[in-house]
């Protein structure tokens, strides 16, 4: 993609559909000139937008630049470069939120000389002009898409530069190492010695990178949510439990075994944490091809889930399949004894032989008994080991995690070259490789195709 900064772009910045208000934003060197063609003073005549003070709001009529027809009654704000979201001149026009009004507004700005923006192009310009680095730009999208309080906090911390500052510290430490290595390379006759302190510095950076990598699981859960697979034998009440946890009837509930054939998923925020509950097919041998595929998908969900709720039916005798499922899920498993509103078919001792130390909760998905205790326990399980404010930043993005892996591997190669007595050139080459990997996180060394992929996930107008 060609990254042009010379033209002026325009887009609707609010979601599609009918609303009270809608915002149209422009950015570019010609933003004020273009806006001056369509923003009319109440007293008549057009605003000279560029002559107005920055960061001020004004009342106007939005008019067709060709025929002069009034399109809407609006407020507009102007932001002079570089103190704007993109670091360019910007105008944001607040219209009434009907789709026809916003479509006409876009047409007016395009006729006046603007170009329709591509997805993420406003944030792309902020990145290209140095207002945001790439990690911060990605955090903008994460903040918009955050579906939980924890996700919002993690995205905001990254947008405010927490991860970027840490990358800068690590990069500076490696650059200082590189200065001494290159001195030894450039001036071999000067007798520049490479002391062990350099290896210790590199090893220290490796340890810091490992510390960042260790936050990835928590960061991923904040960003993407905690995957909770609900599994069990047919007709134990998995779908009823699923519906009760997500607060709506998303899964079909009948007395007929094998009703759920595909995985049904729903998101819900509990205690500021995003949970992704997955209702799965009942585990049993079946000659039905569709049901067999459902069981296969259920097993995949069970293997990939961060937590697994194994549902047992209190009203019927325990079966070998119940015991097998509890054993298979291991430490991620939580036993949920359902249908406690019905007469029990087994004793607490029978249950003790099945759960084998697993956390166990007794509920009635139908009546709601025990559900609040289960929800609180799930929140506490996810919260164990959570970091405190002020600790190292969370790594939430798989791209960042992979870049850290690359940096760590390069530094380990440099240490190995050092230990094997290879020349400073070999050590320096791998230190440079680590710097490039860290630079991919903040965008200093990111390939153009990666930039295209990152900004294409943004909505138009951001």
Specify the pairing of strand 115-116 against strand 90-97.
Answer: unpaired
Q: What is the pLDDT, as a whole number, of residue 255?
A: 46
Exposure pattern of 407-416 as b/e (b: 16+ CB <10 Å)? bbbbbebbbe
Kindly report, residue by residue over 209-260, the tens digit of the pLDDT.
999 999 998 898 888 889 999 999 998 999 999 999 998 655 554 444 445 5
Our CA angle for 168, 174, 176, nearest 5°, is: 105
Distance, in Å, from the CA atom of 364 to the CA atom of 299, rounded to the nearest integer, reads 25
% of the chain at pLDDT higher than 90: 59
116 close to 370: Cβ distance less than 8 angstroms: no
Write the CATH number of the domain with boundaries 9-133.
3.30.1360.120
Model confidence at 170, in pLDDT bands (50, 70, 90)?
very high
Q: What is the pLDDT, as a whole number, of residue 257?
A: 47
| Omega of the bond leading into 323 within 30 degrees of 0 (cis) | no
Mean pLDDT of 165-193: 82
Exposure pattern of 438-455 as b/e (b: 16+ CB <10 Å)? bbbbbbeebeeeebeebb
* 39-47: long-range contacts, CB 8 A cutoff, minimum separation 24: 39/63, 39/74, 39/76, 39/93, 40/70
Instruction: Return the SS3 of 211.
Output: helix
Q: What is the pLDDT, as a whole number, of residue 281?
A: 83
Model confidence at 104, in pLDDT bands (50, 70, 90)?
very high
Looking up tokens 């923003």 gives 39
Q: What is the pLDDT, as a whole number, of residue 253?
A: 47
Q: Which residue has the higher pLDDT, 220 or 292?
A: 220
Mean pLDDT of 79-89: 97
Distance, in Å, from the CA atom of 395 to the CA atom of 389, rounded to the nearest integer, reads 15
Q: What is the pLDDT, as a whole number, of residue 46?
A: 96
Mean pLDDT of 103-129: 95
Model confidence at 72, in pLDDT bands (50, 70, 90)?
very high
Question: Helices (H) and strands (E) in the chain — how many of each?
Answer: 16, 13
Distance, in Å, from the CA atom of 439 to the CA atom of 46, rounded to the nearest integer, reads 47
408 close to 216: Cβ distance less than 8 angstroms: no
The 8-class DSSP code of residue 364 comes to: B
Distance, in Å, from the CA atom of 437 to the CA atom of 409, rounded to the nearest integer, reads 10
Q: What is the pLDDT, as a whole number, of residue 254?
A: 47
115 close to 8: Cβ distance less than 8 angstroms: yes
Q: What is the pLDDT, as a whole number, of residue 207?
A: 96
35 close to 19: Cβ distance less than 8 angstroms: no
Q: Which residues contact 327 (CB under 8 A, 6 or more apart)?
A: 356
Q: Which residue has the higher pLDDT, 271 or 189?
A: 271
Distance, in Å, from the CA atom of 12 to the CA atom of 10, rounded to the nearest integer, reads 7
Q: Which residues contact 99 (CB under 8 A, 6 or more apart)?
A: 16, 17, 18
The 8-class DSSP code of residue 394 comes to: P
Q: Is 75 exposed, middle or buried (0-12, 13-18, 19+ CB in 10 A)?
A: middle
In the sheet that holds 264-270, the strands lie side by side as 264-270, 273-279, 226-232, 307-313, 333-338, 360-362
Specify the pairing of strand 39-40 against strand 56-63.
Answer: antiparallel
Our CA angle for 313, 226, 379, nearest 5°, is: 70
Query: For the chain, where do the domains classified as CATH 3.30.1360.120 start and end?
Result: 9-133
Kindly report, residue by residue over 35-46, the tens digit of the pLDDT.
999 999 999 899
CATH fold group of domain 145-215+394-443: 1.20.120
34 close to 41: Cβ distance less than 8 angstroms: no
Radius of gyration of the chain (CA): 29
Q: What is the pLDDT, as a whole number, of residue 352?
A: 74
Looking up tokens 């050139």 gives 425
Write the DSSP assignment of 193-207 as a string of letters. ---HHHHHHHHHHHH
CATH fold group of domain 230-383: Rossmann fold (3.40.50)
Mean pLDDT of 113-122: 94
Kindly report, residue by residue over 373-416, the tens digit of the pLDDT.
999 999 988 875 555 555 689 999 999 999 999 999 999 999 99
Query: For the chain, where do the domains classified as CATH 3.40.50.300 start and end?
Result: 230-383
261 close to 281: Cβ distance less than 8 angstroms: yes
Looking up tokens 């009918």 gives 18
Q: Is 312 exposed, middle or buried (0-12, 13-18, 19+ CB in 10 A)?
A: buried
Residue 32's nearest CA partner among 55, 6, 51, 13 is 51
Query: For the chain, where do the domains classified as CATH 1.20.120.430 start and end?
Result: 145-215+394-443
Q: What is the pLDDT, as a whole number, of residue 249?
A: 59
């Amino acid at each position: 993609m060609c990254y042009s900064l010379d033209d002026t772009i325009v887009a609707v910045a609010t979601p599609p559909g009918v609303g009270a208000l809608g915002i149209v934003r422009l950015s570019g060197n010609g933003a004020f000139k273009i806006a001056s063609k369509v923003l009319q003073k109440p007293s008549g005549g057009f605003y000279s937008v560029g002559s107005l003070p920055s960061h001020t709001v004004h009342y106007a009529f939005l008019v067709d630049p060709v025929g002069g027809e009034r399109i809407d009654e609006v407020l507009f704000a102007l932001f002079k470069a570089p103190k704007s979201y993109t670091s360019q001149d910007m105008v944001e026009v607040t219209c009434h939120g009907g789709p026809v009004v916003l479509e006409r507004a876009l047409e007016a700005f395009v006729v006046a000389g603007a170009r329709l923006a591509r997805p993420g192009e406003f944030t792309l310009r902020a990145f290209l002009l140095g207002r945001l680095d790439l990690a911060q730009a990605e955090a903008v999208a994460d903040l918009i898409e955050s579906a939980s309080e924890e996700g919002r906090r993690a995205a905001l911390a990254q947008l405010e530069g927490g991860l970027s500052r840490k990358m800068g510290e690590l990069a500076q430490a490696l650059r200082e190492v590189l200065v001494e290595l290159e001195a030894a390379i450039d001036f071999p006759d000067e007798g520049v010695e490479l002391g062990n302190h350099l290896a210790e510095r590199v090893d220290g950076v490796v340890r810091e990178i490992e510390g960042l990598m260790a936050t990835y699981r928590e960061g991923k859960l904040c960003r993407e949510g905690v995957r909770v697979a609900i599994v069990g034998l047919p007709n134990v009440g998995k779908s009823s439990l699923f519906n009760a946890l997500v607060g709506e009837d998303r899964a079909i509930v009948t007395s007929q075994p094998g009703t759920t054939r595909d995985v049904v998923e729903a998101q819900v925020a509990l205690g500021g944490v995003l949970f992704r509950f997955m209702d799965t097919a009942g585990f049993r041998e079946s000659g039905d091809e569709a049901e067999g595929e459902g069981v296969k998908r259920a097993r995949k969900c069970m293997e990939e889930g961060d937590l697994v709720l194994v549902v047992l039916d209190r009203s019927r005798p325990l079966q070998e399949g119940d015991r097998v499922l509890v054993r298979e899920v291991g430490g991620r498993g939580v036993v949920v004894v359902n249908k406690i509103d019905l007469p029990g078919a087994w004793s607490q001792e029978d249950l003790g032989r099945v759960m084998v130390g697993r956390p166990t909760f007794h509920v009635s998905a139908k009546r709601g008994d025990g559900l609040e205790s289960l929800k609180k326990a799930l929140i506490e399980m996810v919260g164990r080991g959570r970091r405190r404010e002020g600790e190292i930043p969370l790594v939430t993005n798989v791209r960042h995690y992979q870049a850290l892996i690359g940096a760590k591997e390069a530094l380990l190669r440099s240490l190995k070259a050092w230990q094997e007595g290879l020349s400073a050139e070999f050590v320096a080459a791998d230190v440079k490789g680590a710097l490039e990997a860290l630079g991919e996180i903040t965008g200093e060394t990111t390939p153009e195709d990666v930039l295209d992929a990152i900004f294409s996930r943004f909505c138009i107008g951001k």
